[in-house]
Amino acid sequence: MTGTAASHTAGRRMWRRFLRHRLAIGSGGVLAALALLSLAAPLVEAALGVDADTANLLARLQGPTWPHLLGTDELGRDHFVRLLYGGRVSLAIAIVAALFSAVIGTAIGLVAGYYGGRADALLMRFTDGVIALPLLPLLIVLAAVDLTKLGIAEEVARSEEVGLYRIVAIIALVGWTTVARLVRAETLAMKGREFVKAAVALGAKPARIMLVHILPNVVSPIVVATTLSVGNIILFESVLSFLGLGIQPPVASWGNMLTNAQELIWSAPELATWPGLLIFVTVIAFNFLGDGLQDAMDPRALD
């Protein structure tokens, strides 16, 4: 059997194992629906004839009506459309931060596992140091840093987009440790395989060996760890936004929508219920999806 045929066979086996994981399939459908609705937020906004950013104090805290499917918030803005826009921000931050974390962790894990010795010891002790840090307090401190004191122009530091970039950068800088440990372990195992030794004997450079021969064989744990981390990142973003240190209004995210609703929890509980429910469902769905991928990509699993 050729290498291409073998890879196709392995891919079909993984797909069959994944299809047997009903919760993962359902979670994938839920996440796809949330992503599509969030991406279609401008179209939904136009179809309903509402404006997610325009305040109307005469229509504040109304119940579900047409065209306000979930009512209005404390400023009279359409709650449903703002949830969709908040989903765009929360999901985008989580996915982009998870991908950046995976890239950083993969690079560190590959180098540590392949070179070993002092490089491995130094990188893994650095990883242990990051793991030992109290993550949430560290994120709060970093998010509270005044960017103007770092030499960034005030108009840039106060812009709406900088909050997105800052949250992504902060989470990516501290969220790579799990991927690094997994990739290092897999690299140590792959380094002793015959095809890697053959590549070394043929004079292949370390960078080529790591990227061409080792990396494709350690993709499975990277995918699983990245998927599982997305749910945690959504929670971190929500906590930071809830504390007023994340995404700043008027940009909507599920976290800062919870912040705006906390003073109205008794008079208008639906303002907190919907973003909280979406955060809960999204985190659970990503965790189930990660479990399904882990089972499907486990080489020891029986078909």
**Burial of residue 150 (number of CB atoms within 10 Å: 0-12, 13-18, 19+):** exposed
Report if residue 211 sits inside a domain. Answer: yes
- The range of the structural domain enclosing residue 90 comes to 13-52+64-297
* pLDDT tens-digit map of 24-59: 889 889 999 999 999 998 898 888 888 888 887 787
* pLDDT tens-digit map of 146-192: 777 766 767 766 766 777 788 888 888 888 888 899 899 888 888 88
Separation CA 227–CA 287 (nearest Å): 7
The pTM (predicted TM-score) of the whole model is 0.81
Structural domain count of the chain = 1
Q: How many residues does the chain have?
A: 303
Report if residue 303 sits inside a domain. Answer: no
Residue 2's pLDDT is what?
43
Q: Where are the alpha helices (DSSP H) in 72-193?
A: 79-115, 117-132, 135-143, 154-157, 160-174, 177-191
Average pLDDT over residues 4-8: 50
Average pLDDT over residues 270-281: 87
Q: Is the confidence at residue 21, as pLDDT, over 60?
A: yes
Separation CA 296–CA 275 (nearest Å): 31
Report if residue 117 sits inside a domain. Answer: yes
Report if residue 58 sits inside a domain. Answer: no
Highest mean pLDDT among 8-22, 79-93, 215-229, 243-257: 79-93
Report if residue 7 sits inside a domain. Answer: no
Report if residue 278 sits inside a domain. Answer: yes
Report if residue 123 sits inside a domain. Answer: yes
79-115 and 270-297 helices, crossing angle to 10°: 30
Q: Is the confidence at residue 76, as pLDDT, over 60?
A: yes
Separation CA 61–CA 47 (nearest Å): 22
Q: With bands split at pLDDT 50, 70 and 90, how would you rate the model's confidence at 244?
A: confident
Q: Is the confidence at residue 303, as pLDDT, over 60?
A: no
Average pLDDT over residues 238-258: 77
Separation CA 110–CA 206 (nearest Å): 10
Pull the structure tokens for residue 183.
Answer: 């990739």
Residue 298's pLDDT is what?
64
Q: With bands split at pLDDT 50, 70 and 90, how would you rate the model's confidence at 141?
A: confident
Pull the structure tokens for residue 57.
Answer: 């104090």
Q: With bands split at pLDDT 50, 70 and 90, how would you rate the model's confidence at 261?
A: confident
Report if residue 76 sits inside a domain. Answer: yes
Average pLDDT over residues 291-299: 73
Q: With bands split at pLDDT 50, 70 and 90, how would you rate the model's confidence at 107?
A: very high
Residue 299's pLDDT is what?
56
Residue 301's pLDDT is what?
54
Residue 231's pLDDT is what?
78
Percent of residues, the chain, with pLDDT higher than 90 = 9
Preceding omega of 42 cis (within 30 degrees of 0): no
The CATH code of the domain that includes 178 is 1.10.3720.10
- Residue of higher predicted confidence among 129 and 4: 129
Q: Is the confidence at residue 221, as pLDDT, over 70?
A: yes
Separation CA 256–CA 100 (nearest Å): 23
